[in-house]
A and B are shown apart, each in its own frame.
Chain A
Amino acid sequence: MTVISTLISGVAYGVPLFLVASGLTLIYGVIGVLNFAHGSFFVVGALLATSILGTTLPTIPTFIVAVLAGAAAVALLGLVTESTVVRRLYRRDHITMLLATFAILLIVEGAAEAIWGNSPRSVSKPEVLSGSVPILGATIPVYDLMLVVVGALVAAGLYLLINRSRFGRSVRAVAQDAVMGEAVGLNTKRVMLLVFGLGSALAGLAGALIAPNVSVSPSLGHSFILQSFAIVIIGGLGSVTGSLVAALVVGVAEAFAVAYAPYLTGFTFYILVAVVLLIRPRGLLGSAKLGRA
């Protein structure tokens, strides 16, 4: 293990975290809902991918289908969740929202247990992505490189979508002031629905991408939702850029911990969270927009 390879594997580790956390923070920033169920959405994406990839060595097209299907199915799940439950709660207080989405987490997880069972499932990567390549004297797994590329693409795509598109403009408007947005003729209901779907799609995408790297079971969501909450806190609630920075920092820190301080494995997140909270309670890039209560 050299510093370079540790760095790359850290970034690769951070990418799925960024995907999950960016969806979470996007939904929070625009709708003001902290979606507990996000972790279970992520797991559904992962489980679906394992079903599509199957037990044999998957081909590249199968893999692409699995990833896109994971994202699409979970986007649908998010749309259904928003239009059946979450929508009814916009006028209620934060705690009701947290509890309702926690209930959805339990329901989705229970349904996942019923469909896929409780035993961990492992799938293999397509042959092209399972090797490794030498870069700067370090051996880097191709899959990790692929993750880095996908992460960069998604980050760029999100940036363009939010800052350079018509839809993005209405998203930013709703995030700033939903009532005013409604008053000037924006369809805020639809914006919120689509944002919820987009955020969920990111969770599903992350799940599908991570499926070949871990053993997937319905309770995988717990550790992931906690880690992405940690990322969201470090980055600042509602800041997509913050979640990118935080995910990379955390991923790299975790990779270095694994390589050089094994007893810290799994704790780097939490240590970073505590440190950030003590220094900057709003997170690294959190705005002071949120009301203090």
Chain B
Amino acid sequence: MSAPIRTAPPRVSPGPSILPGIASARFDLRPVYEPLIFLALTSIAYFVMPANMQYILSIAVIYALLATSLGVLFGWTGIYSFGHAAFFGLGAYTTALLKDQEWGALAFLGVSAVVAALGAVVIALIGQRLAKVEFAMLTMIVGQIAYLLTFRVPALEGDNGIYGIPRGEVFGISITPPTSFWWYSIVVIAVVMGVLRRINLSSFGESLNAIRDDPVKAAAIGIPVRSMRLAAFTLAGAVAGLAGGLFAQQGSIVTPSTLAFTFSGQIIIMALLGGMMRFWGPAVGAILFQFINALVFGSSSNATLVLGVILLAVVLIFPSGVLGVLSRLAGLISRARRAR
């Protein structure tokens, strides 16, 4: 990485601190308390829910991490990827293929993240010289290649998928029971979210925002645009791979659908629904999306149609997503208060 660059605050600020006065510019506690709030809220929700909803939530928080990794590309850096499911699937299949190893559960996640990161580096290097739209198409095509490979490579078991993936142990404690797995996964997710938030608020994160807002200007003030984009793509791939590993452990089965083109589209819809331009937007969107999907349309045969209508509504009417709408409402309320 290059020397840290102080850029002007980006157009989309990281958002106001929830606890004013605690977070100063030099000692920002947001990467610590925001993930803790996330952990607390989701865990409280988890333990008051009926079992069938617990199952939905335990997958939804994994998707929250996945959607946040896509936010690194779309929201932070302005890189469009329509094949993000490929990295998720790569991570999931890595954990699945290593199912006979006697490692700790965390080791699988680490390997999944590294493998997906390597995949991301390769794609980013191939697509380095491409313009935005062409790069988006390339990611889509690569995603499709990965999807086809699951049917062509005998070890990947094609349509049946790989099952019987053990959850294993963390520091000698078994995480097979649902409650212990919940704690394991939510702590891992919160920690990774905290790390991502730290990166997002760092000068590196600000440089990515500068690249998103104007690559030419960013290059002019000395930001190494190409290597920064490469780094962002690799980071997003690694986090998506880690989420994939978690997903494999959670469901103990991995099928090609984790890599499907439609799933890539769903990740984008999740992130957009919450708001791509805010750090917590994709995570909120993913959890919302999972519950909408399961509770409202789970029984409907027209899921595709409804999904399309939701996406079109978000794109045309609420481009800033749920969080964007909420913050605008909050702004209106506070202005109304001040007017009184």
Contacts and interface: CB of A to CB of B under 8 A. Distances in A.
A254 interface: no
Interface in A210-238: 222-223, 226, 229-230, 232-233, 237
B138 A273 contact: yes
B305 interface: yes
Interface stretch (B57-65, B100-108, B185-193, B306-314): B306-314
B131 A273 contact: no
* Residue from the set B127, B301, B305, B309 with the largest chain A CB neighbour count within 10 Å: B305
A106 B304 contact: yes
Contacts of A34: 133, 137
Contacts of A222: 261-262
Interface string B51-91: 00000000000000000000000100000101000000000
A277 interface: yes
A270 B148 CA distance: 11
A30 B112 CA distance: 43
B18 interface: no
A96 B261 contact: no
A107 B319 contact: no
Contacts of A266: 148
Contacts of A281: 129-130, 134
Nearest to B125: A278
B136 interface: yes
B123 to A, nearest CB: 10
Interface stretch (A47-55, A108-116, A133-141): A108-116
Interface string B33-58: 00000000000000000000000000
A274 B304 contact: no
B311 A103 contact: yes
By secondary structure, the A interface counts as: helix
* Residue from the set B131, B152, B262 with the largest chain A CB neighbour count within 10 Å: B131
A113 B304 contact: yes
A277 B138 contact: yes
A267 interface: yes
Contacts of B144: 223, 226, 270
Interface string A260-273: 00010011011001
A107 B302 CA distance: 9
A274 B302 CA distance: 36
* Residue from the set A96, A102, A105, A108 with the largest chain B CB neighbour count within 10 Å: A102
A229 B311 contact: no
Interface string B217-248: 00000000000000000000000000000000
B215 interface: yes
Interface in A66-98: 85, 88, 94-96, 98
A105 B261 CA distance: 12
Contact of B126 (A109, A277, A290, A291): A277
B129 to A, nearest CB: 4
Contact of B308 (A106, A230, A267): A106
A110 B304 contact: yes
Contacts of A263: 152
B295 interface: no
Nearest to A96: B315
Given A85-B312, A281-B129, A95 B80 contact: yes
A290 B305 CA distance: 33
B1 interface: no
A293 B215 contact: yes
A226 B261 contact: yes
B103 to A, nearest CB: 33
A57 B316 CA distance: 46
Nearest to B80: A95
A206 B308 CA distance: 24
Interface of B: 74, 80, 82, 126-127, 129-134, 136-138, 140-142, 144-145, 148, 152, 215, 261-262, 265, 268, 272, 301-309, 311-312, 315-316, 319
Interface of A: 34, 85, 88, 94-96, 98-100, 102-111, 113-114, 222-223, 226, 229-230, 232-233, 237, 263, 266-267, 269-270, 273-274, 277-278, 281, 290-293
